[in-house]
Structure 1
């Protein structure tokens, strides 16, 4: 929710005020030359009349110093450069100077907090005014007050044009102008500068939970925290939503920059009171340097944005400098994302099936459906490479639903042919299960394919069970359908006994990294022994993944582990190659 315009510019019928459009016309049509200069006496705004007096086009005026436009102002600028602060008193006493063929009157400007914010220069041709009976504004009496009101109105309009209405930070227009100016300055002086891209973590959840008013309050609070961390020449802007950019001129020393970034993160991470609620915000920050990471505004912003996204992907509440390797990864991710869309359209995905075996007699005890991408030019692409991209770009729900439907359809065909399918396992991502209609989609697939719910096993990772209440509701609904639930890659997450005993879980699958070190590695032996005993005490079955040798199988069997999966029994197979292993007479796997 954005703020409305200030009352002074809300409409032409409130206290006789003019609209922003009318003010803009006034400044463009007035015979007065109007120039706005920042605290370093660089031109931020000039109308056509000012350009006419100076003899320079507006494009050249913007960013130029007042001393270059009017050499008579050089003593003023040299005097001010040596002062610690920009004091209006020293400027307000100026006598008129010449700019081109016009007379210039200088007046200090203030921001909305009353702090010095720059210089207003008004230029007028007195001789021409006399000929046309125009009273020069800004000299004395009533005319002086009118002139001051005009200056104040222009300052408000300028602020609205270059600042964010919600936070009062700069906006995109101000960023673009300052970036172009800093690029020219850095090129001339062979200096570096830094650009920080800041994105709040979990801001949408705060908006959804506490409301947009609280979200706006948090944005204003964090914008002020950013402002307090910055120096006089630094610029902070709000791009929109919960995204901010910070421009840091003259950043030649990376240690100094790192200290500033860490101060920013600490400040942003401090608790915030939002009405009756207390939140602890955090942010991910991407850093780009000129000229190392880009030599144009667009490239620098893109580099900082990419670094921020990578910082967020690595765990949030961190910062990261852009690297060219990161650019390669982003390009690969983009290619994969576009390829995934085409793969769905052109049916490039394949489902393979890997058998699971009873360790006591080597007989088939189940099948796991495994997704593969048969790329037309790259060949078979591993799911470890494309599944994370599918999750990030939002395609995983569509792909996951296709895998489950395809596997259930094939399982029902085998059953209809009289073949043995004891159990069919399908991997499901956390993002899929977090969809509010996930159980309904599973129900629809079972009804559509006719595959028995009691023979379907859904494999989930440990991360889904960290939220016990949510997982309990979800698992209870799935169990009501008759579906079995297995925890995949067990031992790599952070599950605790209290979590496991609270949830209706049927099976634990020991991760292959522990199985492959058997039987020689002591830690792997003890971990596998503990998992098997834990599962037995909770009434859960155990499957050991990644079994490749007889010694691994024999050790697991000695622990009374019932089921195994791995190359010792079978590689993943296509549906046609698997058919012979499903017949009742040929169900021994090795």
Structure 2
């Protein structure tokens, strides 16, 4: 009896300890589990949203490319002529297609993802088909939805189709562009296996027909067949347009499903994460300590503590990885734009509390686009990683260095003792980048331009300080690159003027605001006028006349130099032909931008200008700068030879300022050297300039080249050039640049003797 009672008491005591231990363990573990599970789910949803935003940026870039191609002015004008002449013959339509095809190919080249294009006419008929396109085209007319993106099957895999209407300048529909982009960019994002943990899968729901896309093991984009559970999830996705996370607790195949609709209509990102990997650690570790509490009683609390500790550590590590992907740049590992703004905001709060100062340094690499274009984006990415590491070694641990995107970096300097400290740090960063980078066996030299803004002098918010540092950076680039500059109010005015000029320049041709002035060129002996240099001027709607020195560089950056250059060529040839017919046979000289030679179809542009004007090629001279000769002689040599084969003459402008182009003269097909005005200003009288001018004339004589001296402003300079045997000159002493009408009036009938 006693033994039975003792056993019962022992059993009850044991049971009490087990129940108490279990309650203590559960009351401790369960709230922790709930809190970390919610945090883990929130971070996962944020990471999925970031992935969806990245996909949206890719589709938005595709739409931007489509709109840029559809907005090309000359192609729209030709298509508008077809629309207005509704009864155009088949030959006329064929001629239009032949005109548009090569220009559309040129427009497609800067976008490597763009693999095909179909331009439809006003009735939906195909006018031009380029590259990879679907076997059957959709029924589309000129009222198509602007920027519509959808998935279409192709002969090999799938393509992303972007539809863009082609509109006249007045907004009337002229036709439709169907652009087809390769799926590699989307596939690369969906193939990021480590973003959501082991075993996670990503799909993209795309129109039409709610096609489901996934990346196969080789990294290609393929159509996917959903299993039963995912098929049900798809039906739920179609019924809502909100992002959400859903737990599917269906046995061994339990999973966490994340849905994030893209901003692009009809596109949705779906992520499936195995519940075993997502919550498995929590379930396993909670089950084991509960069992240990029941079995080991007194050791239950200790066992629970020892188990919960690694459990929390594992959950924290997984949450940290997801948080890092949301806060740090995946390429360089530096804080991204969002996290950098957050850290800058905290730094501003500390500076305000301490009544201190801080600086924001905005760094942009010089000529990084040239490296990407010439060596490829993968090498460019590895260069950015190397730049990030080198910059990180050059700053203090307390400083906040981050990457905004592309080749732009931002550094936040706290506890600034004096403003000059920021300048010293900026110079330190520039010096750190001076040493060459070795990437994939390429030795790469790259510089940086840095803009600096200071709190509270230049602003009190993160956005304001970054924007003003960005403005100062552009000021540094405009100054000389590979330097730094503090923000100043006049830089903001210059930035606004730059924006205004960029906007106005895009409309200048349509508004007929560009005009050519002509400066005569004459022989030194007898002052016989034999030619004229065409100089472009821009007259703004406010009546301001702007010279090329202020807007040509802007036109090159904005991608307008080819359009402006073709207009200048055509107008100069037309005017020269008009003078020739009026009994004033002159050779007209036109300046070329280096970008026109190395990037555009300069031979085709010149041929077209000559054919349309009827001008003899011998009446046209094209001038290239010595800077172009030094930097692009090898890649531009064939095109220069092509220009020469047309029968035109080539001249090297600003000769003598480059110091290292003499070795190229014997290779380049040039017939004339133009002595830069900087060497003429102080002659006679400056021994150095006199020597340089004499040396250039000697070189030209030995090579059989003609010479024109620029910037001649007085008779003394002309007499000096005559004494050295310089054959020709131009400058204000002869005449400043004149409009075509003024030129005709002064140098036409009754003017100086002319060469035929």
Normalised TM-score (structure 1)? 0.73
In structure 2, the CA distance between the partners of 1:261 and 1:355, relative to structure 1 (3 Å rule), is closer
**Conserved in 1, the CA contact under 8 Å of 2:196 and 2:322?**
no
Contact 1:358 1:564 in 2 (8 A): yes
How far did residue 346 of structure 1 move? 1.0
CA distance in 1, matches of 2:658, 2:434: 26
Mapped to 2, the partners of 1:463 and 1:13 lie a distance apart of 53
SS of equivalent residue, structure 1 residue 345: coil
Partner of 1:453: 617
324-333 or 292-301, which moves further after superposition? 324-333
Which residue matches 1:422?
A: 586
1:74-132 deviation digits (Å, cap 9, x = unpaired): xxxxxxxxxxxxxxxxxxxxxxxxxxxxxxxxxxxxxxxxxxxxxxxxxxxxxxxxxxx
Conserved in 2, the CA contact under 8 Å of 1:199 and 1:242?
A: yes
* Residue 464 of structure 1, CA deviation: 1.3
The answer to whether the aligner puts 1:370 opposite 2:535 as a matched pair is yes
Report the Cα distance in structure 2 between the residues aligned to 1:7 and 1:511, rounded to whole angstroms.
Answer: 58
2:742 aligned partner: 577
Distance 2:662 2:359 in 1: 48
CA distance in 1, matches of 2:524, 2:513: 35
Matches within 5 A, 1:237-248: 237-248=402-413
Are 2:9 and 1:9 equivalent residues in the alignment? no
Tell me the number of residue pairs that the alignment of Structure 1 and Structure 2 aligns.
474
The answer to whether 1:477 aligns with 2:653 is no
Deviations 1:270-317 (A, max 9, x none): 343434434344333222211122221111111222222333344433
Aligned partners of 2:534 and 2:501: how far apart in 1?
22
Could you tell me which runs of 5 or more consecutive residues in structure 1 were left unpaired when the two chains were aligned.
15-20, 27-134
* Bigger shift: residues 474-483 or 388-397: 388-397
Contact 2:700 2:707 in 1 (8 A): yes
Q: Relative to 1, partners in 2 of residues 1:256 and 1:519: Cα closer, same or farther, differing over 3 Å?
A: closer
Q: Is the alpha carbon distance of 1:5 and 1:23 closer, same or farther for their aligned partners in structure 2, counting shifts above 3 Å?
A: farther
1:348 aligns with 2:513: yes
| d(CA) in 2 for partners of 1:277, 1:384 | 35
TM-score after normalising by structure 2: 0.58
Contact 1:510-1:528 at 8 Å conserved across structures: yes
Ranges in structure 2 where 5+ consecutive residues have no aligned partner? 1-187, 203-241, 248-299
Report if aligned partners of 2:452, 2:472 keep a CA contact under 8 Å in 1: yes
Correspondence list, 1:128-143, <5 A: 140-143=305-308
Is 1:464 equivalent to 2:628 in the alignment?
Answer: yes
1:462 to partner: Cα distance: 1.0
For 1:364 and 1:186, the matched residues in 2 are separated by: 69
Matches within 5 A, 1:72-83: none
Check whether the contact 1:370–1:426 (CA below 8 A) recurs between aligned residues: yes
Which residue of the partner structure matches residue 602 of structure 2? Answer: 438
The aligned runs of 1:35-46 (5 Å cut-off) are none
Task: Kindly provide the CA deviation profile for residues 542-562 of structure 1, in whole angstroms up to 9, marking residues without a partner as x.
Answer: 112223333322222222222
User: Are 1:298 and 2:463 counterparts?
Assistant: yes
Question: 2-side partners of 1:139 and 1:345: how far apart?
Answer: 77
Q: Which moved more, 1:249-258 or 1:505-514?
A: 249-258
Contact between 2:533 and 2:590, CA under 8 Å: does it hold in 1? Answer: yes
8 Å CA contact 1:355, 1:569 repeated in 2: yes
d(CA) in 2 for partners of 1:279, 1:571 = 44
Distance 1:236 1:364 in 2: 61
Q: Does 1:229 align with 2:394?
A: yes
Give secondary structure in 1 for the equivalent of 2:738.
Answer: coil
The equivalences for 1:150-189 within 5 A come to: 150-189=315-354
Question: Who is 2:91 aligned against?
Answer: none
Alpha carbons 2:674, 2:707 under 8 Å: kept: yes
Change (3 A) 1:523 1:277: closer
Q: Please say if 1:409 is aligned against 2:597.
A: no
Once residues 171 and 579 of structure 1 are traced to their aligned partners in structure 2, the CA distance between those partners, rounded to angstroms, is: 61
**Residues 1:250 and 1:338: Cα distance change in structure 2 (over 3 Å):** same
Residues 6 and 481 from structure 1, CA distance in 2 versus in 1: closer, same or farther, beyond 3 angstroms? same
Is the Cα–Cα contact under 8 Å of residues 349 and 372 in structure 1 kept in the other structure?
A: yes
Q: CA deviation at 1:12?
A: 4.6
Question: What is the CA distance between 1:539 and its match in structure 2?
Answer: 0.7
Partner of 1:383 in structure 2? 548
Superposed counterparts of 1:168-567, under 5 Å:
168-417=333-582, 419-466=583-630, 467-567=632-732
Return 139-148 or 434-443, whichever deviates more: 139-148
Return the alpha-carbon distance in structure 1 between the equivalents of residues 244 and 390 of structure 2. 33
1:209 to partner: Cα distance: 4.3
**Conservation of the 8 A alpha-carbon contact between 2:597 and 2:636:** no
